[in-house]
Amino acid sequence: MNTHDIRRTKIIATLGPATNSLDMIEKMALAGMNIARINMSHAKPEQVRENVENLRAVAKKIGRTIGVLMDLQGPAIRTGELPVALNLQPGNRIALTVRGEVSEEEHSVDVNYDHLVDDIKVGDIVLVDNGGIHLKVLTKKRNQLQCEVLTEGVLGSRRHINLPGVRVKLPALTDKDIADVELGIELGVDFIAMSFCREAEDVLKLKAILDYRKASQRVVAKLEDQEAIRNLNEIITVADAIMVARGDLGIECPYEELPIIQRRIVKSCVMRGRPVIVATHMLESMIENPSPTRAEITDVSNAVFEQCDAIMLSGETSVGKYPLKCLEIMDRIAKRVERSGGANYSDQARMDTMGAKMLKAATVMAKETSADALIVFTRSGGMARNASWLRPLHTPIYAFTDNARLLPQLPIHWGIQPFMMEFANDPAENVDRAIQLLKEQQLIQSGANIVAVTEVEVRGRLVDTIMREEVE
């Protein structure tokens, strides 16, 4: 197979009204979707059940591995219900009330966060409706904030509120989140994304629930505010993967800082071998239009060049008019940019285990011998993670596992193409089986040069080894 046909960067696509059907899920999988995202801010339990069932059915039908990511809603601050939308103009006054306070202001709206008045200071800026409406806090009294409207906007019910730079007392997991986690465990989803993760302890709380239930889901920490960035290294240490959630992050942080923050997160994750996803607004204009903007093309290209593990589509595939076109465009951009090289942050990788160091030696051998394939065997995912960590640009990585629960978790890793295979007691037989499977899939041919990381028996015990072999 021509290595130009292989895409190393993975694509995550969000399911929604535009793509929930069995037929569309199959078309998306064939178009390049590696992982399907289910957004629990909108999905109902019955829809989640149907989506997971359809995804598993499609994966079996077409013979591809598709991961399932459940994205928790998280502890969002929102405005309450309004009988009619408020038409706000600069200079207007509006009261934000909590705990059922009734305001005498002409414009007022309740907020679901009881500690709002305690946490915020006079002079602070409150951003409403994804940053579309700016309010400046003038005074605080009892259970309400008196604010001045700075930007024109129409305020409807249940609009999201951001408080840039303010440390809020929201719980890491809401009651809804915990119920959704239980549903995810029941359905066997592969990843659970934790929204508004602010510190390592937040991740550990979710992991404690999974450990108690003896569940195997991997935790993706979504970084969405300034506090999360301050605690970046600690969060990377405990999370299984990181998501650069640029929607809220772009509101919570100064605009000009966002590209620098993204690069810092991706570089830190690649250096430490932690999968990282770049998400939100990547092809936003294609929700309505059949072609991306030039800025969007460049944005996707930058994420691929930085060698993040995955790029994500949100509204583009959940409610957009051109979900399959979005996948096609992302696939084309990723393949082309990968051929041009990358940021090579992995050159500074901190190889902290013997397994990682062995994979580094294997990737060097694969590069020096122009190997057609790098084969690894894994039961827990460590070998696959280490192989991906080094970002070998010119050698496809094929990961074989006998662990059915691990298999759909492997697609999150850059460059990994996963396969299910029963392992024999003889490591050499495993290599032969893997080569035969790859030949049947037409991924390698006779005469191909392969490098495999496996085990051999030496004096009655198994030791890890790197072998090179020419396919017969």
Active site residue 274: no
Which of 8, 10, 37, 385 is catalytic? The answer is 37
CA dist., res. 401 & res. 252, Å (int): 41
Active site residue 37: yes
State pLDDT tens for residues 140-173: 988 999 999 999 999 999 899 999 888 888 899 9
CA dist., res. 312 & res. 35, Å (int): 9
Residue 376 sits at φ, ψ, to 5 deg, of -130, 155
Buried b / exposed e along 409-423 (16+ C-beta atoms within 10 A): bbbbbbbbbbbebeb
CA dist., res. 110 & res. 50, Å (int): 35
State pLDDT tens for residues 199-255: 999 999 999 999 999 999 999 999 999 999 999 999 999 999 999 999 899 998 998
CA dist., res. 81 & res. 104, Å (int): 17
Confidence category of residue 104, pLDDT binned at 50, 70, 90: confident
Confidence category of residue 457, pLDDT binned at 50, 70, 90: low
Q: What is the pTM of this model?
A: 0.94
Could you tell me the two tokens for 243? 């998501």
The letter for the amino acid at 178 is I
Which of 27, 49, 78, 136 is catalytic? The answer is 78
Active site residue 267: no
Domains of the chain (ranges, CATH numbers) = 3-74+172-336 (3.20.20.60), 77-162 (2.40.33.10), 351-470 (3.40.1380.20)
Active site residue 121: no
Which of 9, 19, 65, 280 is catalytic? The answer is 280
CA dist., res. 422 & res. 433, Å (int): 9
**Lookup result for tokens 């459940």:** 70
Return the top range by mean pLDDT from 52-56, 76-80, 170-174: 52-56
Which of 222, 246, 267, 385 is catalytic? The answer is 222
